[in-house]
Amino acid sequence: MFSEKINISIVTTCFLMVLFSHVTFAQNVISTTDFLSSIYKSKQFSKDSLSVALLNEKNYNLPLIKSVQFRLETRQFIDTWQEYSLRVKPNSFRAKSNQKNIYINKIEEVELSYQKGFNEELKKRYYLILEYIFNKKFIESYSERQIQLSDKLEVLSHSIYELNFDVKDLIESEEDLLAVNLKLIQLEKQNKLIEERINQLTDVQINIDFNDLIGLERIIELTKLDSSQVENLDISIQKLKINTLEKEKELSVAKSKQFVDFIQAKYIGKSDNLFEDNISLGFGINLPFFGNTRKEKNIFYFEQINEEYQLSKLEEKVNFKIQVAKSNFETALLNFNSLNELNKKSSISLVYDTYKKMEGVSPILLLKLSLLKNKKSLELLKFEQELYKAYIEYLDTTEILYSNPYVNYISNSLKYLK
């Protein structure tokens, strides 16, 4: 009876696998790299790219001429006493250069802000893929456990009237099966939500192929990369703010030190001698009294000191987060390796494989051994999930995850995103 039940379970499992394969091929099967690369087709990325392109097309440089004034003056409304003057106020070349640097900094600050948003969206995709992958793995393991418990209950139901029947085992098995059924319902519901989120991001029904999932050895190798070469984006933005303040201060000083204030040409009515009275040229100069400039410089110094303090605090915060992320990864790696080694040293698999080849072994004993193997694999799977999450968290915190050119850090082949 037990062997018949096992055969039925195998047939059922094969049928479900075939059915699942038809559903899978009905959808678009894409790699993890394709899914991560879909961020380049997102509406937000297109909008940000267009905004930066428009900003680069704008010209916010100071013009060579600040202003042009035309003046008309009449004395006692007599035509011969009318005065016409044209006054031109120039900008200094130094002020023009500083203004250009300020605008370049402003554009770069906007670009970095957009880049930060891009990185956040990319990180969400990484965590979503990991959630998708491990949810699938948990469904597979719990489905296997469901079959094992069903088989066990079937065998127990046929041994109720035997002397060595263990009613406690029957009750516990039913409770375990109920818990597994509830867990599978929860996992299936979660899987549906994950797939809906993935489909919303890609605008099509897809199925992700994760056969190229990165292995443990490659993970350890990548977490040893030198992260000091990658500057944190928040720190870069803060440094840019300080640099912009410095340029704004230089612009203010350049304006205050502009020697020529204006150049003027004047025509004064009619005269018998055109070159003596009618035309005059003049210019204005700025005298070196910089009371207002000194006040502005003090404001700039105050703001700069404050921003530099914020930079110092930010660097401390980022360094602390990196240390925490590194510690979390090392802990997750230790936990996974320890449990994996214990499982390898366990004699459960050896006993199970040996008993399967022997005749007359109790079916209940084989099922108990297979359930124990399944339990150990589930425990290891939980630690594996934590390890992958800690790995992505570490790459995110060190910003290795966002090194240019972008690559797929959960792909064993580290394919480029495109």
Region of poorest pLDDT, from 71-85, 240-254, 342-356, 363-377: 71-85
At 213, which helix (H) or strand (E)? none
Instruction: Kindly tell me if the per-residue pLDDT of 107 is higher than 70.
Output: yes
The mean of the pLDDT values for the chain is: 81
How much is the pLDDT for 207?
Answer: 83
Q: What is the mean pLDDT of residues 248-254?
A: 73
Strand partners, 284: 262
Instruction: Kindly tell me if the per-residue pLDDT of 143 is higher than 80.
Output: yes
Residue whose C-alpha is closest to residue 46's, from 117, 107, 127: 117
Instruction: Kindly tell me if the per-residue pLDDT of 130 is higher than 50.
Output: yes
Band of residue 277 on the pLDDT scale cut at 50, 70, 90: low
How much is the pLDDT for 8?
Answer: 41
Residue whose C-alpha is closest to residue 225's, from 32, 409, 415, 411: 409
Instruction: Kindly tell me if the per-residue pLDDT of 127 is higher than 80.
Output: yes
How much is the pLDDT for 24?
Answer: 41
| Most confident of the ranges 25-29, 40-44, 198-202, 275-279 | 198-202
Looking at the chain, the whole-number percentage of residues with pLDDT higher than 70 is 73
- Evaluate whether 35 touches 130 at the Cβ level (below 8 Å): no
Q: Where are the alpha helices (DSSP H) in 257-362?
A: 291-345, 348-357
Q: What is the radius of gyration, based on Cα positions, of the chain?
A: 37
Instruction: Kindly tell me if the per-residue pLDDT of 263 is higher than 50.
Output: yes
How much is the pLDDT for 158?
Answer: 84
- Evaluate whether 240 touches 109 at the Cβ level (below 8 Å): yes
Q: What is the mean pLDDT of residues 80-89?
A: 68
Strand partners, 80: none
How much is the pLDDT for 335?
Answer: 96
How much is the pLDDT for 65?
Answer: 63
Q: What is the mean pLDDT of residues 181-193?
A: 96
What the block records as the tokens of 147 is: 């079959």
Residue whose C-alpha is closest to residue 144's, from 103, 174, 118, 177: 177
Region of poorest pLDDT, from 32-46, 279-293, 389-403: 279-293
CATH level 3 topology of 2-402: Outer membrane efflux proteins (OEP) (1.20.1600)
Region of poorest pLDDT, from 182-196, 333-347, 371-385: 333-347
Instruction: Kindly tell me if the per-residue pLDDT of 256 is higher than 70.
Output: no
Q: Greater confidence, 356 or 178?
A: 178
Q: What is the mean pLDDT of residues 132-160?
A: 92
Region of poorest pLDDT, from 79-88, 222-231, 347-356: 79-88
Region of poorest pLDDT, from 7-16, 58-67, 115-124: 7-16
Q: Greater confidence, 147 or 350?
A: 147
How much is the pLDDT for 255?
Answer: 67
| Most confident of the ranges 5-14, 159-168, 223-232, 319-328 | 319-328
Looking at the chain, the whole-number percentage of residues with pLDDT higher than 90 is 39
So where are the chain's domains? 2-402
Q: Can you spell out the DSSP letters for 379-400?
A: HHHHHHHHHHHHHHHHHHHHTG
Amino acid at 41: K
- Evaluate whether 381 touches 214 at the Cβ level (below 8 Å): no
How much is the pLDDT for 197?
Answer: 92
Q: What is the mean pLDDT of residues 244-253?
A: 78
Region of poorest pLDDT, from 35-44, 74-83, 173-182: 74-83
